[in-house]
Amino acid sequence: MDPKTEITAAETRIRPYVRETPVDESTALGEASGARVLLKMEHLQLTGSFKLRGAMNRLLSLTPGEKGKGIVTASSGNHGAAVAYGLKALGCPGVIFVPENVSPAKVANIRAYGAEVRTHATDSGVTEIFARRHAEETGRVYVSPYNDPLVVAGQGTIGAELLRQVDRIDAVFVALGGGGMISGIAACLKSAGGPVEVVACSPENSAVMHHSVAAGKILDMVSRPTLSDGTAGAVEPGAITLPLCRRLVDRYVLVSEEEIRDAMRLIIDRHHTLIEGAAGVAVAGFLKDKERYAGKNVVIVLCGANISRERLKEVL
């Protein structure tokens, strides 16, 4: 795809359904690093996550016949809520598969939009494979959380907003799960011609795409529990995001659970705003190597805010 064309089209398509999220400067992170640190407040998106962008771009691309049959998707929570929001807005039926161990807060968020939720397996990657098969068997469209060029283009609209909001971006830190968000943002920023460093941040406990990029193929790996449930789990075999990440991402960082926890506390305490673990991963990734960005303009994408009370108690 031509990133600039596809992302421009996506932005026009989804604009009535999504919020242009603000950018706030972080004095706390700036003081710690000597950099000018800007937070892209995507956790303030309408469904509490960036996922609304890609989901709406895909749903708005459906034909009337496809809408009539309904869609199928799989999600660890945030994509499911985004799809549920879109289905309600467009009057389209659908079913959303989630892992059996998904965050109750995220299931509640999905059901709040009136969507049908079913459970399967305990790893989001396995749930995705099952849901895609179910869509094929029932003749419905499968809406992937990341393995779809229209979803990637939708997430890339974050980059389009950043180009309008920030005068210069030297580096951008993004949480890495299936790779849809970072692929879209990187494609957008790099197509603009600026020398931006794109940094992918993953939890040590579940870093499937991180290790898959190094191996040059999607790996079948066991994931351990992590605060970053939004990025956890397997990656669908043949995902289009693997070659995109290999081509567009400049650096990969792994962070520990304690580093994620500390980063979340910092944002909650100093910015008085609630973020989920995946957003904490991007902050932790920056803090891990903060000295190298002194004097630079750095953007950190706070990708979501959907966290249960129980998980929040663990963090605090």
Taking only the tens of pLDDT, the chain with its 316 residues reads: 577 899 999 999 999 999 999 999 999 999 999 999 999 999 999 999 999 999 999 999 999 999 999 999 999 889 999 999 999 999 999 999 999 988 887 888 899 999 999 999 988 888 999 999 999 999 999 999 999 999 999 999 999 999 999 999 999 999 999 999 999 999 999 999 889 999 999 999 999 999 999 999 999 998 999 999 999 988 999 999 999 999 999 999 999 999 999 999 999 999 999 999 999 999 999 999 999 999 999 999 999 999 988 899 999 9
Report helix, strand or coil for 301: strand
Nearest to 231 by CA among 267, 268, 189, 285: 285
Q: On the CB side of 162, how many CA atoms lie within 13 Å of its CA? A: 33
Residue-level pLDDT at 76: 82
Which domains can be identified in the chain, with CATH numbers?
3-49+149-315 (3.40.50.1100), 52-143 (3.40.50.1100)
Q: Map 56-85 to HEC letters.
A: HHHHCCCCHHHHHHCEEEECCCHHHHHHHH
Map tokens 């892209």 to a residue. 40
pLDDT of residue 1: 56
44-48's contacts with Cβ under 8 Å and 24+ in sequence apart are 44/19, 44/273, 44/305, 45/18, 45/19, 45/21, 45/304, 46/17, 46/18, 46/19, 46/85, 47/78, 47/81, 47/82, 47/85, 47/109, 48/78, 48/81, 48/109, 48/304, 48/305, 48/306
